[in-house]
Amino acid sequence: MKRLVFLFSWLIALSCKNTNTAKPEAGNHSSADMANFYLTLPQTMNDMVNRMKAIPFSGNNDRDFASLMREYYDGAIDIARLQFAHGKQKDLKAFSQATIKDLKQELLVLSNFLKDEPTEKSSSAQMFQRAIKNALSQIPADNSLHGRETDHLFVQLMINHHKAGLQLLRAELEYGAHQTMKIDARNRLAKQAEEIKWLQSWLSKN
């Protein structure tokens, strides 16, 4: 009998332990979680900007551009993942999914470039750095986005993200020297400009 009671108690304890340590399934959110999620989107943008600002400049414009853009694209992927998981509009989910796939490839390009880590100093480093700082300062504060529904908030954040990105890409085109980065920046500039138009069109229709 004592052995049976002991076994029963052990099973209860094990069950409680599993309940406490289990991780929630993706997409399984309470109303409180969703309220916190609304604040998470702009915070994700802020975290991206803060990470970029924390990167020390090496003095080589191409190397610094690649390092900064890795954080910039990481931020876009994080924002897109949040929209894909919690947004409602199917066209935006498709946009988010395409963004994640595209930028993962772009991160590989940047990481491969940084393996060589060009170290020679750029003569225009100060002008390049000034342009980068100006681009990062253009992203609006969270207060300007309060009251927006989740999908609309996502679109506005991505527009802001991409507009700052255009300045970053133009800084590389103007002050960079390595053809790999300059060609990549030119291609990304055209792509992001088109995405801004699409996002603005979505916003005007919804």
* CATH number, domain 33-205, options 3.40.50.300, 1.20.1260.10, 1.10.4160.10, 3.40.50.1390: 1.20.1260.10
Enumerate the domain spans of the chain.
33-205
pLDDT of residue 13: 41
The model's pTM is: 0.79
DSSP 133-180: HHHHHTSPPGGGGTT--HHHHHHHHHHHHHHHHHHHHHHHHHH---HH
d(CA 20, CA 87): 29
Percent of the chain's residues with pLDDT above 90:
63
Q: What is the pLDDT of residues 119-149, one digit of tens each?
A: 789 999 999 999 999 998 887 655 555 556 7
* CA terminus-to-terminus distance, the chain: 68
Query: Would you state the pLDDT for residue 33?
Result: 46
Of 45, 42, 51, 44, the C-alpha closest to 142 is 42
User: pLDDT category, 17, cuts 50, 70, 90?
Assistant: very low
Q: Residue 62 in contact with residue 181, Cβ under 8 Å?
A: yes
Which has more confidence, 44 or 172?
A: 172
